[in-house]
Amino acid sequence: MTWTLSNFRTTLLAMTFAGVILSIPQVSLAAGQDQTPAQPAALTPAPAVTAQAAGPADSDVQARLDKKQFHNVKVSVDEGTATLTGTVDLYAYKAEADKRVRKAKGVTAVRNLIQVGGPTIPDEVLEKKLGEKLEYDQVFYGNVFNAISLSVHNGVVTLGGHAFNYFNSKESALALISYYPGVKGVEDEIQVDPVSMVDDRIRMQVYRAVYGYPALKKYAIDPGKPIRISVQNGHVGLYGMVDSKADSDIAFIRTNGVPGVFKVENFLQVANPPAPKKKK
């Protein structure tokens, strides 16, 4: 009995000691499991912040400028403002990039700092070439009723005067100028004539009065160099180049006689005005 109890105690102590020994690795392993994922957990938020910084606006803007003509254009979006930098070959591409970016999601404003490359043409040469092209623009769409002017300063073209309508006149003139190499910028000051049935009647009557006169029929031969007739609410302006002051006066008098005309302004220029006489 004594031996049996002693043996039992010894066995119990051995089992208790073994249980303590076996529990040590388990505790260490549990501690290891708690610490191991803690290290990469501190690094996971960083990529998420970077991805969010790019935002959907940047992706949409980049997609809209994924064209050959914009390969040298860079864009950044900050709080809804898109800034465009880089270069393009034509002014039309600069204007197109502006329009495309304004339609992007999240863009509320655009800073267009794109530079227009291409050739550098002297202002007087560029103005002459553009003027010749503008004269014959839309010759089959009543260009006789357009009186669009232009001037050039440091490669920037300013278009002014009056256009008969928006699409066939104003937009056509702007496109013609914007796609011409050497143009660095375009200022649009063209006024579109108001839509009016009364003005339409006056236009046709002035046209018949001017071109129906035998001495003035010659100005209908060259479609790029007519006597131009511009009408706004009964006010008529005559533009273009004529051969003599007599032709200018006849056109003015004939226009003034059309019913419904309130006022006539004669802007016709004489091609070869007589030299002033020298005083003896």
* Segments of the chain scoring below 70 in pLDDT: 1-57, 274-280
CA atoms of 270 and 244, how far apart (whole Å)? 5
| Cβ-contact 254, 209 below 8 angstroms | yes
So what's the pLDDT on residue 277? 67
Torsion of the alpha carbons at 212, 255, 131 and 172, rounded to the nearest 10 = -90
| Cβ-contact 91, 98 below 8 angstroms | no
| Domains within the chain, CATH numbers bracketed | 54-116 (3.30.1340.30), 123-192 (3.30.1340.30), 197-270 (3.30.1340.30)
So what's the pLDDT on residue 138? 86
Biggest alpha carbon distance in the chain? 164
So what's the pLDDT on residue 21? 43
So what's the pLDDT on residue 12? 44
| Cβ-contact 243, 195 below 8 angstroms | no
CA atoms of 82 and 178, how far apart (whole Å)? 23
Among 242, 215, 214, residue whose Cα is nearest residue 228: 242
So what's the pLDDT on residue 68? 94
CA atoms of 247 and 235, how far apart (whole Å)? 20
So what's the pLDDT on residue 103? 92
Tokens, residue 264 = 């006539």
Among 235, 147, 167, 168, residue whose Cα is nearest residue 199: 235
So what's the pLDDT on residue 19? 47
Give the distance, in angstroms, between the CA of residue 72 and the centroid of all CA atoms in the same chain: 17
CA atoms of 16 and 159, how far apart (whole Å)? 101
User: Exposure of 77 by Cβ count < 10 A (0-12 exposed, 13-18 middle, 19+ buried)?
Assistant: buried
So what's the pLDDT on residue 140? 79
| Cβ-contact 240, 268 below 8 angstroms | yes
Among 165, 142, 160, residue whose Cα is nearest residue 267: 160
pTM across the whole model = 0.73
Tokens, residue 6 = 């002693």
Instruction: Say which amino acid occupies 86.
Output: G
